[in-house]
Structure 1
Amino acid sequence: MERDLGENAIQCLRRLEAYDFDGMRAMFTRAATVWHNDGKGEQTIDEKVGQLKPLAGAFDALRFEVTRQFRKGNEVLQQQVLHLTRADRSRSEVHATVYFRFEGGLIDRMEECVCSVPAGGRPA
């Protein structure tokens, strides 16, 4: 039985938590694209994975908390909080809304809109 697309979106995050970048990449189509609200436009999934790899050395722990998720057809939209902990035990959070579009069970498009805040603080 094929896994629910909402579960696939969450599994992608779990692989990132484990710094399993190859496993995460395998969940995307070859031509997958990523858009981010940083004003830099679109990037390939390989560029995005390259951007994420430094997280492994920068943080002792990262954990995703999915707060809401909506599914329709081949699309998933979710709100999530990424909890980050550094070696000095300082913490921060990244609040995000992420859109996933799937083709053949793989992620073909991801769009992220994020806002970083100190843990327990308010968005800037």
Structure 2
Amino acid sequence: MNADQNLKETAVRYLRQWEVRDYTTMRGMCTDTATVWHNDGGEIQTIDENMEVLKNLAGDVETLRYDIVRQMQEGNEIIQQQVLHLTNNDGSRSDVLAAMYFRFEGDLIDRIEEYYTVVPLA
């Protein structure tokens, strides 16, 4: 397997770990100084701050599943289009339509940016 394919698979594997709520593995896939930005107007988060947000969000969610629509790579950067399907504990469902950017240092994630919108489903 070539290095380019490894980075693409790492980006997907990172999201798959959130599906099963394996935060230890997720954190281990990132540099100590990794940062996360979202288009919600909040501040840039450290990876550890983002892990806490993900844990809190997952507490309200019964199931979450990613469909990766496409991936593109330029050097150590991956951008992918994806849909996150959520079923909340109250039975309501929504999709999160997103584009996600990953920058790597070696084989570890050093920067994540996510542009998203939430679509409630009937």
TM over 0.5: yes
Residue 91 of structure 1 aligns with an amino acid whose one-letter code is R
Quick one: percent identity of the two aligned structures?
54
Determine the C-alpha separation between the residues in 1 that align with 2:117 and 2:90: 22
Structure 1: 5+ residue runs without aligned partners?
none
Superimposed CA distance per residue, residues 20-64 of structure 1 (whole angstroms, 9 cap, x where no aligned partner):
011111110000011111111211000000111023321110001
How high is the TM-score relative to the length of structure 2? 0.92
Of Structure 1 and Structure 2, the greater helix share is in: 2
| SS of the residue 1:54 aligns to | helix
Residue matched to 1:35: 37
Moved beyond 4 Å, runs of 4+: none
Residue 18 of structure 1 aligns with an amino acid whose one-letter code is V
* RMSD of Structure 2 on Structure 1 (CA): 1.4
Structure 2: 5+ residue runs without aligned partners?
none
Residue matched to 1:21: 23
| SS of the residue 1:39 aligns to | coil
| SS of the residue 2:84 aligns to | strand
Aligned equivalent of 2:67, options 50, 59, 65: 65
Determine the C-alpha separation between the residues in 2 that align with 1:19 and 1:41: 24
